[in-house]
Amino acid sequence: MTVGLSREFSRAFPWTSAAVCVAAVTLHAWGMRELTGSGTQPAEQFRLLELGAKSGGLVAETGESWRLLTMHLVHTGWVHLAFNLGLFFPVSGAIELVVTRVSHVALLLTCAAVAGVASLLWTPEVSAGASGLVFGMLAAAVVLGLRHHRSLPRKIRTHFGLWVLPFLVIVLLATWNNAYVDHASHLGGMAAGLAWGPWLQLRTRSRVGTLVASRAWTRVESIRMFTGVASCVLALAIAPSLARKFRAPVRHRVASHWELTMPQAWEPRYGPTGTLQFRGGNGFVFVDIDRVEGPDATSWEAAYRRRGLDPLATAGLLTSVGVDARGWLRDTPEPIAFVRYHYHREDRTVLRETYFAADPSLPGEALVLSIEAPLAWYDKYGETRAALVGSIRPVAPARSEPDALVTQSASAAAIR
């Protein structure tokens, strides 16, 4: 038999909620110390991704599912951080003081996982911030107050139940028309809080049968913790497939009589020099496709630099162009020459591997495939590069549009 809240309540401290806040402040102070914007510029978004922000592209293409959890600790600026933590700590701390530690941790894990999955499914942009946790905690506080109103200490009842509902609705509506807000994360966290709220266990003390009650309590708490952890593990396990929407890579015909396989979400468009371009990694990784003329790899490389790199350097889009390596790939159906360039773009170092495949039906021409990725992501996209280059195949020339560079399977998207 159990009664009331623990008498130790008045001397408790919400250590878990405080730890989340300290981790978020420390990460922001260390990681974003050189940036002062709102997180919408490319350099700021790249830094957010380095710190662990959510990226649908990276989850789908490199399997970094852990971003669904770390996104809640990353913030775009001090105002963003202060606003989120200013809402999170009071409500999460109040819940932590009146429920068991296991219930609170399970609630946090579930809200983080569900908010992350919702953001992954319905917010394609880079996303960061603890607001999904905030809405999860607010929703759980409403349910907890309605279910255990009489058991809660009188001095903190205003932190729960119907007292919280107007504030929750106001915050939700106030941010609804803001294009920079991840509404999916908010709604996902709120749904998780509403679903988990009825299962939160108040901190109680046993009057009699302490040993028996303790054993039963351990079993119940173990089930709660298992449920919270399992929800996280499941979300992380299926996240890459969700990000890809369970679709297979797409086979494209390019440069009239070549085919290659691209990840499904990489849509074609025209690049700054007029070449066909596929973008992935939330815009920080892309593939350029072109054709060059010449009798050998040396002339192909010279032609490519004139058409593909020199105009970008002249326009100031990249600087400090250099060559790291060049050679031939022998483990492909046809020998393919490659050159690896490095340069600076928007204050970050990037690598561009350029592959030249000789055209068997048009002597003196070669297909050019360039894959650019930030230096820090070079290894992450190793499998993508290998699969892409290995998928190159010559096919019979297309009868219609013999000189077109756009793909037959997605030509309409290429001009967006």
pLDDT band at 416 (very low <50, low <70, confident <90, very high): very low
| pLDDT of residue 158 exceeding 50 | yes
| pLDDT category of residue 409 using cuts at 50, 70 and 90 | very low
User: In this structure, are residues 135 and 193 in contact, taking their beta carbons and an 8 Å threshold?
Assistant: yes
Mark whether 212 and 280 lie in a shared domain: no
Residues 214 and 281 in one domain: no
Whether residues 179 and 64 share a domain: the answer is yes
Selected residue with higher pLDDT from 297 and 415? 297
Number of domains in the chain: 2
Are 69 and 116 in contact by the 8 Å Cβ rule? The answer is yes
Q: What is the 3-state secondary structure (H, E, C) of 212-245?
A: HHHHHHHHHHHHHHHHHHHHHHHHHHHHHHHHCC
| Token pair listed for 402 | 């013999």
Judgement on whether residues 89 and 157 belong to the same structural domain of the protein: yes
**Amino acid identity, residue 227?**
T
Does the pLDDT at position 12 exceed 50? yes
Q: Are 52 and 95 in contact (CB under 8 A)?
A: no
Residue 37: the pLDDT is 57
**Which of these ranges, 8-22, 214-228, 248-262, 346-360, has the smallest mean pLDDT?**
214-228
Distances (CA, A) of 180 to 38, 176, 198, 274: 10, 10, 32, 30
Mean pLDDT across 379-401: 82
Residue type, 32: M
Chain segment 322-376, per-residue pLDDT in tens: 999 999 987 777 789 999 999 999 888 999 999 999 887 778 889 999 999 999 9
342 and 212, same structural domain? no
Least confidently predicted of 62-76, 107-121, 144-158, 287-301: 144-158
User: Average pLDDT, whole number, for the chain?
Assistant: 85
**Mean pLDDT value of segment 24-42:** 76
Phi, psi of 370 (to 5 degrees): -115, 130
Residues 336 and 187 in one domain: no
- Dmax (CA) of the chain: 91
The yes-or-no verdict on residue 93 having pLDDT over 70 is: yes
- Strand 250-254 to 205-206 pairing: unpaired
392 and 283, same structural domain? yes
Token duo for residue 144: 């907890």
Q: What is the DSSP letter of 396?
A: P
CA distance 366 to 175: 52
* CB atoms near residue 380 (< 10 Å): 17
Sequence letter at residue 97: L
Cα 191 to its chain centre, rounded Å, is: 20
Q: Looking at 190, 225, 243, which one is the last position of a domain?
A: 243
- What's the domain range around 302? 250-415
Question: Which residue type occupies 187?
Answer: L
Choice between 372 and 401, residue whose per-residue pLDDT is larger: 372
Same domain as 323, residue 177: no
- Where is the domain boundary, 188, 221, 243? 243
CATH of the domain at 339: 3.40.1000.10
Q: Determine whether 267 is exposed, middle or buried from the number of CB atoms within 10 Å of its CB (0-12, 13-18, 19+).
A: middle
Give the H/E segment covering residue 17: helix 15-31
Token pair 């662990």 in the structure block, residue: 52
Strands 336-345 and 348-358: antiparallel
Share of the chain above pLDDT 90, in %: 57
Residues 6+ apart with CB under 8 A from 189: 111, 112, 114, 115, 118, 131, 132, 133, 134, 135, 136, 139
Interval 21-44 mean pLDDT: 79
For residue 127, count other CB atoms closer than 10 A to its CB.
29
Which sign, positive or negative, has the C-alpha torsion 209, 211, 216, 221? positive
Express each pLDDT in 247-269 by its tens digit.
888 999 888 788 999 988 888 89
The pLDDT-based confidence of 190 (bands split at 50, 70, 90) is very high
Which alpha helices (H) appear in 99-203, and where do they start and end? 101-122, 131-147, 165-174, 183-196
Phi, psi values for residue 261, rounded to 5°? -110, 125
Predicted local distance difference test score (pLDDT) of residue 213: 40
Residue 37: which CATH number? 1.20.1540.10
208 and 328 inside one domain: no
Beta bridge partners of 276: 270, 289
- pLDDT at position 330 is 78
Which of 226, 243, 260 is at the close of a domain? 243
Within this chain, do residues 177 and 292 fall inside the same structural domain, yes or no? no
Encoded tokens for 179: 């294009």
Residue 257 shares a structural domain with residue 113: no
How far apart, in whole angstroms, are the C-alpha atoms of residue 315 and residue 328? 31
Residues 98 and 74 in one domain: yes
